[in-house]
Chains A and B, each alone.
Chain A
Amino acid sequence: MSLLAAAVFCAAAACAGEQPKHLGLAANAGLTGGGPGGSAPGTATAPGAGPSGVTPADGAGQGAAGGAGSGGGSGAGAAGPVPAGGGEAAGSAGSGAPGGRGAAGAPAGAPGAGSAGAAGATGSGGATGAGGPRSAAGARAGAPGAGTAGAGTAGAGNGPAGAAGTAAAPAGGNGGATDVGVTADTIKLGGFFIESGPVGELGITLLKSVKAVFNEVNAAGGIYGRKLAIVDCDTSFTSGDKPRACYTKLTQQDKIFAFAATGDGPAWVTAAPLACKDQIPALWTDGLSQNEFTCPTIFPTGPAGRSQSHVVLDYYINKLHPKTVGILAQNDDIGNEWLTGAKDVLNKYGVKVVSEQKYNLGETNFTTQVTNMRFANPDFVFFSSEPLGPILFQKTAEGQGWKPPMPSAGVTCNVSVWPKEVGDYSKGMICENPWQLTSAHLPGQVEYERTYKKYWADWDKRNYYTETMWIAAKATVETLRRAGPNLTRARLLEVLRSGAFNGFDTGFGVKFSQHSSATGNLFSIAVAVVEVAKPADEDPYVLLQAPIPDPYFTAG
């Protein structure tokens, strides 16, 4: 998998966020969590960190499953007060999440970034001059948690989506054209995808992932007799002209029923506020933009960027007890989001930041940052950044003959190109990962590979985000199934906000924890911790701590 792939795509990740105000999310509060949960590190069992603690059933205790996890490093730290009754800590707590963004890789300067581009031009590549493609804007979950009812039908039908996604048409017919984009035999969903430009080759796999899921469902008869169609619109990894045009095209020209599975983070950032205003449901978006968390009709997935930093650093500090740290952060909202989570934990444990180096995306020369960091002499380095910068940083550091005493930690080193590029220097790095490693060969992972290969020949171009879209597509199918034959937007929203997806098993070793309030939604995914054990291997990682729920996702 290439560097850019890794760098580029946003996972079903969180949204960048600002400090949620009433969340009581003071630095440490985010760690309140109810219930048990965190699994012990290393035991891949019960990735059940998910559901427990998050069971909304009685509305109580949602929240970051805390994690008592035995044995070190439970992500969630102290079990905090469990909010009584219904509270949800505005789960959407903050989660910020930067989520991967944008191709860090794309070096600045992709031609024509942003412009509608003559001839499709060069518009793509988002990377633009300076800031690289980016992702989200600081989104913030700020959703206030006015405790809503989690209403959880906890666990109702939370099994892994699968063939179970289909449903036969009822005897009396499915009601025909029950809403915009719905007819008796089709459901038209829409999405933004990266189909052209520098990362087109990689971006198209996301669309293919969705199509693979839909093809299977359609082959088995569809949902209540309706086949699923995905209307893709090429946004080439840009924000601005293309997504704006695509938005109007999909909604006013193609007249889709809902947005499902957006495969282009930066593009969705432009369109999310519009979708919210027009109240068009948007399912399983990547949560890069703040607006996605403060909109009742948008259903973004996490984890928050700050959660990613949080989990990793919490584990790290508990395990290795460093005293000082140097941070390399990309200078944009996403980098800042990761930084927020990091600082929360660092402050909590009293680890001193002796150097904080920022850089703009597109930078390739890290001699200054390495030098400044080296002279500050931290115990370890934390990378609050997408892979490209840190990779070059580490290579430069090696070139200056410097290595900090303790291994480094980062939020995006879970993409294998990182250890591959950096080599031995990266050995021992500790990274976050949103779900189980592919080496676990869980049934869901196996099915993903099998199905994708059934339809497409470019399995080697797939990346982390292809998986994300797979999950999103599966969740979409399940959502439509639960909505029933009388399919309307209102019904769809009802299903989604009912908490039905709490505990939804992604098939990749984690489950969703849902959080919906009057003003917004969040489906958080848990965060795991992995280590770079063998950089040279095809599969360099080992699991250190199984996924635990989003620590900022508090109940309360």
Chain B
Amino acid sequence: MRASTALRTFGPWLALAGLLAAYPFAVSPYWALIGSFVVVYAVVALSLTVLTGWAGAVSLSQAAFVGLGAFTAAELTARHVNFALWIPIAMVLSVPASVITGAVALRLPGLYFAVVTLAFGVVAQYMLFIPLENAGKTPVARPRWGAVDFANERYFFLLCVVAAAVAFGATLRIGRGKTGRALLTVRTSRTAAEALAVDSVRYRTLAFVVSGCLASGAGVLLGTLIQSSRSNQFTLFASIQYLAVTFIGGIGSVLGAALAGALQVLPTELVRPLVEGHDSDVLRQFAPLVQATLLVVVVVLRPDGLVGVLRGLGVRAGLLQPRPAREVAFAAPRATARRDAGVTLPDWDVAPGALAAAVGRAPAAGPQNGDAGEVLLDTPAALEVAEVSVRFGAVAALDGVSLSVQPGELVAVIGPNGAGKTTLFNCCSGFLAPDSGTVRLHGVDVTDFPAHRRAAAGLGRSFQTPRLVESMSVFENLLVGFHPRIIHGVPGEVAGFTYALDEEREIRRRVAGLLDAVGLAAIGPLAAGDLPSGLRKVVEVLRALVPAPDVLLLDEPSAGLDPRETRWLARLIGAVNRELGTSVVLIEHDMSLVMGISDYVYVLEFGRRLAAGTPAEVRSNPEVIAAYLGKEAQPA
């Protein structure tokens, strides 16, 4: 690495490290102590960043995990266990708590998660912390390592900094890697994530476990810092406090977590000279009032917290820049004007074979070139839907619908609104369990498979409204498509094992190649949220085909696209079908698109299959015309 690059990359970190190392010696032991508090609470806030910011799950029991750490420290003090083991032990103890709580709550909508964590926190307080305290398990001893006595506030600060650095470093790596991308996708849209083979429950549980470990580790440090552990420090209100402060700092952001640590501690210290030593009663409630007001104001006006404020003020420090996948801002999806990146779709200029090369599939040959209606015996249909019915109350959304897609075929599903087309797709993808009927993928009955498993088995899906992670770049969004192909997990990410780094490098190469192949390399680094809607649609489709699925379900891909963009998309779909051999099923209203590229068309009406045949057959079918096509589709 060249010197200047090295300096730019590592310079700021080295400077920070130097500052932190010098800090405790430049100030009094008291301020070193305060610094330790800030650092420890920053790690607590970090645990919330992972869970609430990235995974989108609100926890009301973070204090219980912190308390778990603190009481573990107390217990281990009593047993004279070496300090080096405290944090690992506390983390290990936190895992069953997070796994069990997660198992109960993570399958349910997010609100229930909050409620279940609340329950956990209350139960931990009454049935664990209070009894422990009554049994006298409260004092915690500062460790000694050789000549270094950590009762010295300055040394302890350095210890905290080192621990926090590990925590922050690991979390940053998780955030920038496969896990972080997956979590953000889950947070944006669980269905989109599942369609990309991300097991949303598993990932949310993972986030919860990581968060629990961070919090309990911080708890060990906190207990050791205070040198005691008491149940009234770790109550529901403390959890709410952590959440509030993390929010004000900036919930999705690692920097925000650091700011939150400062917010938890510094205001009290700064207000101290005003409250103490004075005979006036004025400021007594000042601080809590300010904090509460600030919280409401921040949530309503600036949900991305202080970090957002700093960005808004144009502060251009490296850490603040929302470089894609570096910092994730917790921002409301902006329904109104986006920062339009001002890019447009270039003309179609894709060399034949380039797509296949980019995605890593040899160009398809032979029967896969989709001669309509030809079925090779012995080869099961790529996708087969048999007699699927779905009822919502008294309404039959689907009534005995059957559909079959041969390998390499391009099939369209058309029909009026409310005909059940998207419902059909949802049954195929696994988001809806049909009341009767089966779904088969290459002959395998996947009717009972969860969505992510079907996706991993080769079923891709794109949605009518794009579900991209707005704060990640296009590039990062596309990387998520490779999710099922990546073997390494959190340990690999954090430790930076070679195989993990290799995998990451490989998928980045592939995505870059794909973008190049379709002529969209320019939009790679842009935040997905900044794209005009047409391009977002395109990216969504690209994301679905990144893992080279066998079957690709596209739900109204041309919705919201202008004619030029539609043509571009049609050519993309065609290339995907021909070169990659992907079977494509298309829900479409744009008849020119449908008739132009489909091998076979199914028509649905009122949940039933009205007609099926080649485009020509369907176009001239009187029932279809009457129900749907109208005069426009009269053969010219």
Contacts and interface: CB of A to CB of B under 8 A. Distances in A.
A231 B535 CA distance: 66
A113 B275 contact: no
B36 to A, nearest CB: 10
Contacts of A110: 237
B324 interface: no
Given A121-B287, A131-B231, A274-B227, A331 B30 contact: no
Interface stretch (B125-133, B175-183, B422-430): B125-133
A151 B244 CA distance: 57
Interface string A89-111: 00000000000000000001111
A118 B249 CA distance: 11
Contacts of A201: 281, 284
B58 interface: no
Contacts of B33: 244-245, 248
B285 interface: yes
A134 B245 CA distance: 25
Interface stretch (A70-78, A235-243, A342-350): A235-243
B237 A117 contact: no
A178 B613 CA distance: 105
A108 B126 CA distance: 12
B71 interface: no
Contact of A273 (B30, B133, B225, B228): B228
B227 A273 contact: yes
A436 interface: no
A292 to B, nearest CB: 13
B232 A131 contact: yes
Interface stretch (A122-130, A403-411, A423-431): A122-130
A95 B171 CA distance: 50
Contacts of B236: 109, 129
Contacts of A249: 30
Interface stretch (B16-24, B262-270, B560-568, B593-601): B262-270
A121 B291 CA distance: 7
B288 interface: yes
Contact of B237 (A111, A137, A239, A333): A111
Give the interface centre of A124, A126, A241, A273 by most chain B CB atoms within 10 Å: A241
Contact of B226 (A118, A123, A253, A270): A270
B466 interface: no
A245 B269 contact: yes
Contacts of A112: 237-238, 240-241, 288
A88 interface: no
Contacts of B267: 117-121
Nearest to A106: B232
A117 B230 contact: no
B139 interface: yes
A336 interface: yes
Given A112-B241, A116-B264, A360-B130, A239 B291 contact: no
Contacts of B29: 248, 252-253
B215 to A, nearest CB: 14
A122 B231 contact: no
B232 A133 contact: yes
B347 interface: no
Contacts of B264: 115-118
B30 A333 contact: no
B257 to A, nearest CB: 14
A116 B291 contact: no
A216 interface: no
Contact of A128 (B235, B269, B271, B276): B235
Nearest to A244: B226
Given A128-B238, A196-B285, A331-B130, A122 B233 contact: no
A234 interface: yes
Contact of A130 (B130, B136, B272): B130
B245 A232 contact: no
Interface in B275-329: 275-277, 279, 281, 283-288, 290-291
Interface string B217-258: 000000001111011111111101110110010000000000
B276 A233 contact: yes
Which of B122, B240, B241 has most A Cβ within 10 Å? Answer: B241
B235 A119 contact: no
Contacts of B52: none
A204 B278 CA distance: 11
A42 interface: no
B163 to A, nearest CB: 18
Contact of B271 (A119, A134, A248): A119
A241 B226 contact: yes
Contacts of A130: 122, 125-126, 129-130, 231-232, 235
| Most B Cβ at <10 Å: residue of A110, A119, A242, A252 | A119
B230 A239 contact: yes
A333 B291 contact: no
B446 interface: no
Contacts of A547: none
A204 B281 contact: yes
A144 interface: no
A134 B232 CA distance: 8
Contacts of A549: none
B134 interface: yes
Nearest to B269: A245
A239 B271 contact: no
Contacts of A121: 241, 267-268, 287-288, 291
A66 interface: no
B457 interface: no
Given A118-B245, A196-B284, A240 B130 contact: no
B268 A116 contact: yes
Nearest to B231: A131
18 contacts: A111-B240, A114-B232, A117-B287, A117-B291, A118-B263, A118-B265, A119-B287, A119-B288, A129-B125, A129-B237, A134-B232, A195-B284, A197-B284, A204-B281, A233-B272, A239-B233, A240-B228, A240-B233
Closest 3 CB pairs of A and B: A129-B235, A114-B233, A120-B287
Interface of A: 108-124, 126-134, 137-138, 195-197, 200-201, 204, 208, 231-234, 238-242, 244-245, 248-249, 252-253, 266, 269-270, 273-274, 277, 331-333, 336, 360
Given A116-B264, A244-B33, 13 more contacts: A110-B237, A114-B234, A122-B237, A128-B232, A130-B235, A131-B125, A138-B136, A239-B232, A240-B230, A241-B226, A241-B233, A270-B230, A333-B134
